[in-house]
Structure 1
């Protein structure tokens, strides 16, 4: 939202600077200061109001530096890859040239987990790097299911097969929840 406001303000300023209001017979917004190329955006009083304050420039530079560093941190966080990509089948000592896509492995793990007793719905995703992949499960249990046996079946079934496919350790996290159900009425 802030980007749209800044873009609109910048376009209105450019329209005044390029004299587009006069050329295209447009009416600028009420009270808009810059409507002609030789106009000024800020009056003399507004421009010189903070000139005598010693702290103004260091504070402005500090705020802009913090905003710039936060923007760079956000940009680097967007670029950083947290998914393993392609995994070699059998791990480091696996078959040459045979790779397993992370999406295929997570789909297979989720499909395998859906067939466990007491599981209503299951989703899986892979995180980490290709040398240290991690499995994350989001499992919805049926209302009468105990979580302990489901977790044991998850470790013995889908995760064990995933470890065999990746050729090593496959740490996992499971987020368990119950299927929402309607309350029973007592009569």
Structure 2
């Protein structure tokens, strides 16, 4: 939402700077400071109001430093990779350089989990790093299925085969839900 507000404000400033209000016979918003190319956003009085105060410059620099650090922290968080990418088949000692992409492993785990009894729908995704991958499942059970046997079958079947294939321990998390069904009338 704030991005839309900033974009709209920037477009209004650009419209005033390029003199689009006059060229296109538009009326700028009431009280808008920049309506012509030679106009200013802040008057001289607004720009110098706090200049004589001793606390103003340290406060302004501190706020700008905090905003810059938060922006840098956000950027680094976006760049940090939280997916394994590719996994060497056979663990740390890869078999002749054979690698398995995380998407292929996720698709195989999901397809294998869908074939378990009592599973209506299953999705899988990989998180973690290539040295410590982790499987996450989103499984929808049929309305008459108990979760315990499905979790045991998931551990003994798809996860065990993936562990043998990749040569890794492959911890897993499963989010289970039940398909919606019509209520039965009790008599």
Normalising TM by the smaller chain, what interval? Answer: 0.7 to 0.9
RMSD over aligned CA atoms reads 2.1
Q: Per the alignment, do residues 60 and 186 of structure 1 end up closer, same or farther by CA in structure 2, a change over 3 Å counting?
A: same
Single out whichever of 49-58 and 137-146 deviates more from structure 2. 49-58
Q: Per the alignment, do residues 182 and 58 of structure 1 end up closer, same or farther by CA in structure 2, a change over 3 Å counting?
A: farther
Determine whether 1:122 maps to 2:122: yes
Whether the 8 Å CA contact 1:94–1:167 is kept in 2: the answer is no
Question: Secondary structure of the residue that 1:105 maps to in structure 2?
Answer: helix
Give, in angstroms, the shift of residue 14 of structure 1: 4.1
Unaligned runs of 5+ in 1: none
In structure 2, C-alpha distance between the alignment counterparts of 1:93 and 1:25, rounded to whole Å: 69
Q: Per the alignment, do residues 25 and 87 of structure 1 end up closer, same or farther by CA in structure 2, a change over 3 Å counting?
A: closer
Aligned match of 2:105 = 105
Aligned match of 1:61 = 61
In structure 1, C-alpha distance between the alignment counterparts of 2:24 and 2:177, rounded to whole Å: 63
Aligned match of 1:143 = 143
TM-score between both structures, scaled by the size of structure 2: 0.86
Aligned match of 1:168 = 168
Single out whichever of 29-38 and 163-172 deviates more from structure 2. 29-38
Q: Deviation string for 1:71-101 (max 9, x for gaps)?
A: 1111111111111111122222232122111
Give, in angstroms, the shift of residue 118 of structure 1: 1.5
Once the two structures are superposed, the pairs formed by residues 17-32 of structure 1 within 5 Å of their partners are 17-19=17-19, 21-22=21-22, 24=23, 26-29=25-28, 30-32=30-32
Aligned match of 2:185 = 185
Whether the 8 Å CA contact 2:20–2:26 is kept in 1: the answer is no
Aligned match of 2:2 = 2
Question: Secondary structure of the residue that 2:120 maps to in structure 1?
Answer: strand
Q: Deviation string for 1:23-56 (max 9, x for gaps)?
A: x354451333233444332223322332333322
In structure 1, C-alpha distance between the alignment counterparts of 2:3 and 2:186, rounded to whole Å: 56
Q: Per the alignment, do residues 108 and 17 of structure 1 end up closer, same or farther by CA in structure 2, a change over 3 Å counting?
A: closer
Unaligned runs of 5+ in 2: none
Q: Per the alignment, do residues 164 and 37 of structure 1 end up closer, same or farther by CA in structure 2, a change over 3 Å counting?
A: same
